[in-house]
Structure 1
Amino acid sequence: MQGPAVFMDISLEDQALELRKYFKSLGAEISEEKSPKGVEDDLHKIVGVCDVCFKEPSESDIEAILNSIVSIMVSIPLERGENLITAFSQRLAKAPGPRLAMIALQSFWRLYNNLEPNSTLRYHVYYHVIELAARVGAVREVFTGVDQLRKEFASCPPSNEQMQKLYRLLHQVLKDNNSELAAKVMIELLGTYTDENASSAREDAIKCIVTALADPKTFLLDPLLNLKPVKFLEGELIHDLLNIFVSENLSSYLAFYKNHKEFVHSQGLNHEQNVKKMRILSFMQMAEYNPVLLFDDITSELQIETQDVEAFIIEVLKTRLVRARIDQAQRVVKVSSTMHRTFGQTQWEQLRKALIEWRLNLTETQEAMNSVTAAQIEYAAQQKA
């Protein structure tokens, strides 16, 4: 079998011709003749059969061939670039096994990084990069967060519809193994809707709520209520459930679940996990207004046994939302600080009051230090005299 050609110091036309011959030698349905329409047409024909290279026994040869195709792609203007990229992605997705799939991903990622920052094709390549990365469990290798995503497309922002499509894909590939990041992506997606089209985002809004509720690390849910698409869900059961997690207690959730069991399960939510999260949220609410909590109050409000209080408090402390310590002798939990479940007008006023007091304390401390400094200077002067 003919080995892969090495494309060094030859024109793009000759490079395309050598690729045609190479794939023909592997049994691909492709002509060895150049296309009269030019290199781009050659490239379309080559991409159409490029998955044949996965027959090669050498991984380095496969990588070299794919990189040769990439080198032509980034060297010529592409009139049908979006179609070509989609076709290339579909062929690379046929790579058998995780090792070859990773080689395919690396080649596609190389294509992305070699396109000009202002190229409109970068979006299409990135979208398919995420699809390929999901196949090999490497999404976090190419996507680290929404801030990074904004930087990627700063020079050539995609359309609103394109970003919505990308956010949906990212949510889909992240939701099962990184629910926290998936929730952030979905919030970004909902933020792309305006007053005019928010009503059309119903499905996205429901996914956003469900993802946030299911995420064991997400406890501050109040911001979701301000998203326009979520507001359009007012009056629906999913919005009622969100409100319970935002501001109500465990008893409220249990009453909701009793009346709407089928609905909760139909959303893919786990009742036991919901109860666990609502216990923590209810405790946060109790701690917000009571720096010292009796064991009896905790067991009653959270519906747990006395012997389970210590283990529960340890779970709460792991969230870092509450700082507290257990006093077994007095059978109380002493709270030093807690995060607010909601942050409304009352909390802003409390923050304003705390900042004013902090500023006054700083002023008093500064005045005291000035007095001490002046006294020291006066004393030193007297000693000199």
Structure 2
Amino acid sequence: MTTVVPTSEEDPALAVVRFTSELAWADAGPEAAEEQVNRLCLEAQESMVMGRWMDLASLMLTSADLMFSKVSDKDLECIFTVICNLVTKPESLDEVHEMTKLISGKIIQQPNDKPAMRLKILFNLYNLLENPYSRFFVYMKALNLAVNGKVTEHIIPSFKKIDSFLKEWNIDIKDKRALFLGIANVLKESRSSSKDSFKFLTKYLATFSGEDAHTMDEAKEEAVRTIIEFVKSPDMFQCDLLDMPAIGQLENDAKYASVYQLLKIFLTQRLDGYLEFQAGNSALLKSYGLVHEDCIAKMRLMSLVDLGSNESGQIPYGLIKDTLQINNDEVEKWVVKARTAKLMDCKMDQMNQVVIVRRCTERVFGQHQWQTLRTKLSTWRANVANVISTIQATNKITEDGSHSQAVQGLIIR
């Protein structure tokens, strides 16, 4: 297979046009092929001389699909390196963006054919661009390609840099929505990234705060998805979803009110509340892929957390047994599970059959919890100030006493 590395002084772009056109017309016969190759090369030269970079890019991409099927990965990367480099030629940012749309559109056209290579080419295009919005545009194409081509593992590492990307791109709220939702969709394909998927879904929903009802309606499906992801997750026990307008709109929604009710049960009620809900909504739970036994296990832990927050630091074994609806010999097992999940900092007093709670995770951390924290910090600050004042007063008394003794000794002498 011929490698596209120019060995003469021929311009790399012209060499790519010659190579791809020869490949495209190879079956037409020598005479017809030569005529077409010469025609395309002349057209490419004219575009280069006239600075018509968009036309040149379009010409070079004519046989792009053929390249992916007939050219080795090494040659393919070389060809597209030359094509992508055309975005550095125009002075107009608008023209650069149009070229970016054209090139990236061709790259993602067949996402199941060499998806990893296509993704690599998109990243190369991204790095050649100076216009922040064009970079964002290519990144979004990469997200979609990663999902459609099932190569999400190649783009997930970049999510750690999203905050710095956002500063660089300086995109508006609608683009942020598309970005956060795109990332959540990528992470959805990765089973080990459920928490990260949930995080970006909540970022997406947060962008709807302050919007009107018509705009908010756009977020309904994803609001339901976010609730289900939270309920389904075996290791997420705290969220602020109830404070989000995008979630709140579901409360009185004819289709999704029951899903909102389910979230409220998990965040504000105990196991008996869930069991009552499940009795009348078992089909609903199954339709969202929720397993009843898993929900019971999670609700037992969340009910135990609720007991820890509301029982003045001590929870009788009997109360745990009744609330979690378990046998006597299972109480300590569930306490250990709560400690292992870092939901509670506690110790078990087996002699007195109570659990002594030092710290407990709040299921909801909203306005009320912030106010409580503020009150505690204010009290702590006042106590520290009192201690400092006491120490200063004690030191002053000590210093005054020492000074009086010294004066008295001087008089005696």
The C-alpha deviation readout for 1:228-265, integer Å capped at 9, x for no partner, is 22222113111111111120111111111111111111
Letter in 2 for 1:203: E
Alignment partner, residue 78 of structure 1 = 96
Asked whether the equivalents of residues 173 and 207 of structure 2 are also in contact (C-alpha less than 8 Å), the reply is: no
| Residue 266 (str. 1) matches residue 284 (str. 2) | no
Asked whether the equivalents of residues 190 and 227 of structure 1 are also in contact (C-alpha less than 8 Å), the reply is: yes
Alignment partner, residue 396 of structure 2 = 374
Q: SS at 2:184's partner residue?
A: helix
Asked whether the equivalents of residues 202 and 226 of structure 2 are also in contact (C-alpha less than 8 Å), the reply is: yes
Q: Which runs of 5+ in 2 are unaligned?
A: 27-35
Letter in 1 for 2:5: A
Distance (whole Å) between structure 2 residues aligned to residue 112 and residue 54 of structure 1: 23
Letter in 2 for 1:263: L
Alignment partner, residue 380 of structure 2 = 358
Asked whether the equivalents of residues 245 and 281 of structure 1 are also in contact (C-alpha less than 8 Å), the reply is: yes
Asked whether the equivalents of residues 191 and 227 of structure 1 are also in contact (C-alpha less than 8 Å), the reply is: yes
| TM-score normalised by length of structure 1 | 0.84
Alignment partner, residue 139 of structure 1 = 155
Q: Which aligned pairs between 1:170-249 and structure 2 lie closer than 5 A?
A: 170-176=183-189, 177=191, 178-193=193-208, 194-196=211-213, 197-221=215-239, 223-235=240-252, 236-249=257-270
Letter in 2 for 1:19: V
Distance (whole Å) between structure 1 residues aligned to residue 106 and residue 236 of structure 2: 38
Distance (whole Å) between structure 2 residues aligned to residue 108 and residue 17 of structure 1: 22
Letter in 2 for 1:187: T
Q: SS at 2:226's partner residue?
A: helix
The C-alpha deviation readout for 1:292-336, integer Å capped at 9, x for no partner, is 222222122112333333332232123323211223343332110
Give the drift of 1:9: 8.3
Letter in 2 for 1:354: K
> Percent sequence identity over matched residues?
24
Distance (whole Å) between structure 1 residues aligned to residue 340 and residue 307 of structure 2: 18
The C-alpha deviation readout for 1:40-90, integer Å capped at 9, x for no partner, is 222123234335256445x54443333222222333343633541442332
Letter in 2 for 1:271: H
Q: SS at 1:80's partner residue?
A: helix
Distance (whole Å) between structure 2 residues aligned to residue 92 and residue 67 of structure 1: 19
Q: Which aligned pairs between 1:249-264 and structure 2 lie closer than 5 A?
A: 249-264=270-285
Residue-pair matches, total: 372
Q: SS at 2:359's partner residue?
A: strand
Letter in 1 for 2:287: S
Asked whether the equivalents of residues 266 and 302 of structure 2 are also in contact (C-alpha less than 8 Å), the reply is: yes
Q: SS at 1:3's partner residue?
A: coil
Alignment partner, residue 29 of structure 2 = none
Letter in 1 for 2:176: M
Asked whether the equivalents of residues 238 and 365 of structure 2 are also in contact (C-alpha less than 8 Å), the reply is: no
Q: For the structure 1 residues 307 and 166, does the alpha-carbon distance in structure 2 shift closer, same or farther, using more than 3 Å as the test?
A: same
Asked whether the equivalents of residues 294 and 333 of structure 1 are also in contact (C-alpha less than 8 Å), the reply is: yes
What is the RMSD computed on CA atoms of the aligned residues?
A: 3.1
Q: Which aligned pairs between 1:26-175 and structure 2 lie closer than 5 A?
A: 26-27=23-24, 31=37, 32-33=40-41, 34-35=43-44, 36=46, 38-51=52-65, 52-53=67-68, 55-57=70-72, 59-76=73-90, 77-78=95-96, 80-81=98-99, 83-91=101-109, 93-96=111-114, 101-118=115-132, 120-134=133-147, 135-136=150-151, 137-144=153-160, 147-154=163-170, 157-158=171-172, 160=174, 162-175=175-188
Asked whether the equivalents of residues 325 and 333 of structure 1 are also in contact (C-alpha less than 8 Å), the reply is: yes
Alignment partner, residue 33 of structure 2 = none
Whichever of the two has the greater Rg, that structure is 2
| Residue 307 (str. 1) matches residue 329 (str. 2) | yes
Higher fraction of helix: 2
| Residue 16 (str. 1) matches residue 19 (str. 2) | no
Q: Please say which of residues 242-251 and 137-146 is displaced more in the overlay.
A: 137-146
Asked whether the equivalents of residues 48 and 88 of structure 1 are also in contact (C-alpha less than 8 Å), the reply is: no
Q: For the structure 1 residues 334 and 47, does the alpha-carbon distance in structure 2 shift closer, same or farther, using more than 3 Å as the test?
A: farther
Letter in 2 for 1:295: Y
Distance (whole Å) between structure 2 residues aligned to residue 232 and residue 5 of structure 1: 59
Letter in 1 for 2:2: Q
Q: SS at 2:308's partner residue?
A: helix
Distance (whole Å) between structure 2 residues aligned to residue 167 and residue 343 of structure 1: 23
Distance (whole Å) between structure 1 residues aligned to residue 401 and residue 106 of structure 2: 83
| TM-score normalised by length of structure 2 | 0.79
Asked whether the equivalents of residues 323 and 338 of structure 1 are also in contact (C-alpha less than 8 Å), the reply is: yes
Asked whether the equivalents of residues 180 and 200 of structure 2 are also in contact (C-alpha less than 8 Å), the reply is: yes
Q: For the structure 1 residues 334 and 5, does the alpha-carbon distance in structure 2 shift closer, same or farther, using more than 3 Å as the test?
A: same
Asked whether the equivalents of residues 299 and 306 of structure 1 are also in contact (C-alpha less than 8 Å), the reply is: yes
Distance (whole Å) between structure 1 residues aligned to residue 296 and residue 8 of structure 2: 64
Distance (whole Å) between structure 1 residues aligned to residue 8 and residue 303 of structure 2: 67
Distance (whole Å) between structure 1 residues aligned to residue 9 and residue 172 of structure 2: 36
Q: SS at 1:340's partner residue?
A: coil
Letter in 2 for 1:163: K
Asked whether the equivalents of residues 84 and 103 of structure 2 are also in contact (C-alpha less than 8 Å), the reply is: no
Q: For the structure 1 residues 69 and 94, does the alpha-carbon distance in structure 2 shift closer, same or farther, using more than 3 Å as the test?
A: farther
Give the drift of 1:6: 4.1
